[in-house]
Structure 1
């Protein structure tokens, strides 16, 4: 018999309200046993007195809700207890539920897994639920909501449907070669496969914007020693995250802070000063700085305005199209308007804050330009990318296959690769991996 599962659906700790969710064949029994009343009207909150069925001990006054399946999050019968958020109240309710026969505490992600297994949503939407729970910025929230509403799943299912149609044509050519079929059935498939390959490649060629938006957009601050990189990091973070000293070379390792920049998650990194290394420790710090620059989505190249017109050659070498140029220490000298490496320089003072608003505005605009694509659902996970790359490879083999049987087999492999993303084929080996990182109660 399928066990009935339960778990807190709100974060642990002291709060005004806590929710305990129950799902499974005996969810209705949990309501009637703990309240001593008949089931409330579906999807309507009802006030109830909750008591432990073993001792009759009063647990709390709260709200109860009843969601009979399949019109529930999991597709099963679901009950919810909305109680006061004290630890003792929640612990008493959990203990009372644990004593009921056929009940057990839910595993992480088990509610969402049951919803998937009961056809309430596909795997891309299930993953988006976890992303929405973890979202810390508005851009992450928007991306997760779009995926949860099915944009990504619909795109992959459309591709899978078109491939299934193409496969039917190929198999007709194989199974009924002597029938009165239109000439060139296989030739009708070629443009379909070519079109799908082009669409898949365009989807994959996204500079991993969806994955980076989930994990955080990396910005590296680079410059010569004492250019004011650490001061700039502290000013942008609005706290003393890095040590600031007049002594050159204070920063030897990468110092990171996490920011919400205009709704985008940003990992801002201060790095060692770029110059000829004085010792092996500084040399390693510079190596790490250049490695971080190579991996960054954006760079801030910081020059000391008091050294103009001279420009640090090592910093100048990292300036490219993904770089914003900053002239720091403009409280000491008023620099002329200038371009550096073809990029318009921004005059700021990390010490006084002058120019920081303009810098943040420019940074936000650059991040939005790279990572916001309103018309196209974003690829958000490495497993999606791997399956899509397998799909493209299979379709390219199908185009060059000498026999229709070989082409058909490659198209079948491509269809299975797409199906693994949404869960439309057997993905039992993937489910534990996908759902184990969900929070308890979801």
Structure 2
């Protein structure tokens, strides 16, 4: 016998008193413990954008969907589930008449639980999109239930809070946290690459991978728990040192996969938030001209006078499907030089404003994801440009060099060879990232010109896009570098991991490092990465060359606790499970 006390935060079920969340209780009547219903609460909201439109959609979710339908469409049979039905909507509790019509023709769709987007009954009203009609129907929904609906408190109907439909879908196991984050990315995607990234994340594969890792950590912890709890009472085929070595081998392989996942999360974030590109060069090298050619419009001022750009000017652009944040900056030159004509590339006095512009330009270059060094082909590299670009190379920033104004060269072939040798020697930039362009030729070219790529700008852009592609391609661990297409697909989906997931992965990896230190296996990680990853028959065991001493310094309690904390980090990524679940751990222990 099941007795529900709505006014209390306790549930009497099978003669047991259990404290429950005041907002939720499990559906004990149906026996489905995976579906959680919000206590007698039905929510509704406008699902389409407000304002004039051909169609407006109002979504309703909760136990009162049928009553709301009967109030809005009196004397009309319930639509067949998942079939659109044309209905007139009337003001609730009034006789149907022309004066009580809210909408003369609305499409009604009814979705019975539990196979719905929220796991509850869902009713959708597809109305004419006039603002007055929408307001009238929204006002009628909460008054749909009569006061005499029940001797008890009637189900509550209220406007949904932001994100509440999605929250109910998660609560009722219709969607997981990584899918929810991907759904948000889908709504904000503005480029093709962002759309592809969001679509990959809407599948359950990413969450399934996290859950698989959590289960592996749980199994590993179970082995150690068995050793702690029953080592004195039971006979184990393996010694404690051998058992810890076996578990450490499994954790090392898992750790390598998590590191690849974390690295891919960083790469995916470049797709999601955009790639920061900075243009660095001396005054009048052609940075602003090149930016205008990239974005296809006059986004920044271009003039013969040097120093027209003093602050960092950022422009966002969709370049080949990648969201790119281009930053045009002040030209770099060494301060304190006297004489010379700045407009001709000399080193005249540097004022306070220009000094601040140079400082900001250097900072923006060091914070960029890609640095484009724009160099005047007719002049030597400015020392300040060389030093800053080399710092970026040393930091691992992708550096691309654009040698501009090649139209001024008399012997282009010899000059290009000399420039390539000079750039590779000074900055260690590969030759396929050195481009020779002419912004002047691109600007002055006739639209009907037979030349396919005036100024080599398109060739430069293709090289830039190739750089973006290499930066955002998924990394695959050495052990997974096979012809297994499904495996490669999984690592492509790992690009959809969000910053929140990356932080929790880092936290999990820290706990795994603590575990490896506790069992004395921290020093074999480099060997495992280089040797075991190349062995297709490796099943998580340590290499036979690695000897385990008879009595190594192993702290099994700390090791087990580290695995528990690591599994808890995995559980927090998906929002499912609990690494401290006693029954799960005991199940593993008794099975061993």
Q: TM-score, normalised by structure 2?
A: 0.68
Aligned to 2:143: 99
Q: Deviations over 1:196-253 (max 9, x none)?
A: 2222223223481112211111111111112221222222222332222222111111
Determine the C-alpha separation between the residues in 2 that align with 1:60 and 1:358.
58
Give runs of aligned pairs for residues 33-44 of structure 1, distance below 5 A.
Answer: 33-36=71-74, 37-44=76-83
Residue 238 of structure 2 is aligned to residue 183 of structure 1 = yes
Determine if the alignment matches structure 1 residue 64 to structure 2 residue 64: no
Q: What corresponds to 2:529 in structure 1?
A: none
| 1:159-308 correspondence to structure 2 within 5 Å | 159-177=213-231, 178-184=233-239, 185-206=243-264, 208-277=266-335, 278-305=350-377, 307-308=378-379
Question: What are structure 1's unaligned runs of at least 5 residues?
Answer: 428-442
Give a deviation string over 1:253-294, Cα, whole Å, max 9, x none: 111111111111111111111113412221121111111111
2:201/2:496 contact within 8 Å kept:
no
1 or 2 for the larger relative contact order (CA 8 Å, sep ≥6)?
Answer: 1
User: Secondary structure of the equivalent of 1:208?
Assistant: helix
Residue pair 1:45, 1:64 contacting (<8 A) in 2 also: yes
For the Cα contact (< 8 Å) 2:509–2:566, is it kept in 1? yes
CA distance in structure 2 between the partners assigned to 1:157 and 1:348 by the alignment:
53
Match of residue 517 from structure 2: 400
- The CA distance in 2 between the partners of 1:348 and 1:3, in whole Å, is 66
Q: Does 1:415 align with 2:581?
A: no
Structure 2 counterparts to residues 250-399 of structure 1, below 5 A: 250-277=308-335, 278-305=350-377, 307-308=378-379, 310-317=380-387, 318=389, 320=393, 322-330=398-406, 335-336=412-413, 337-338=416-417, 339=420, 341-342=423-424, 343=431, 344-349=434-439, 351-352=443-444, 354-373=455-474, 375=489, 376=491, 377-378=494-495, 380-399=497-516
Aligned to 1:431: none
How many equivalent residue pairs?
425
Q: How far apart in 1 are the matches of 2:107 and 2:408?
A: 63
- Alpha carbons of structure 1 residues 273 and 98: separation in structure 2 relative to 1, 3 Å: farther
Q: Secondary structure at the match of 1:354?
A: helix
Give unmatched runs, 5+ long, in structure 2. Answer: 1-38, 95-99, 146-155, 336-349, 425-430, 445-453, 475-487, 519-553, 580-592
Q: Which of 44, 53, 62 is residue 92 of structure 2 equivalent to?
A: 53
Two-structure CA RMSD over aligned residues (Å): 2.3
Does the CA-based 8 Å contact 2:265-2:499 persist in structure 1? no
In structure 2, the partner of 1:7 is 45
CA deviation after TM superposition for structure 1 residue 425, in Å: 4.2
Cα 1:220–1:175 change in 2 (3 A) is same
CA distance in 2, matches of 1:324, 1:13: 46
- Rounded to whole Å, the distance in 2 between the matches of 1:303 and 1:312 is 9
Specify the alignment match of 2:536 in structure 1: none
1:90 to 134, 138, 141: 134
C-alpha distance in 2 between matches for 1:82 and 1:355: 52
1:20–1:166 distance in 2 versus 1, CA, 3 Å: same
CA distance in structure 1 between the partners assigned to 2:561 and 2:125 by the alignment:
52
TM-score by length of 1: 0.89
Distance 1:239 1:124 in 2: 38
1:60: Cα distance to partner? 4.2
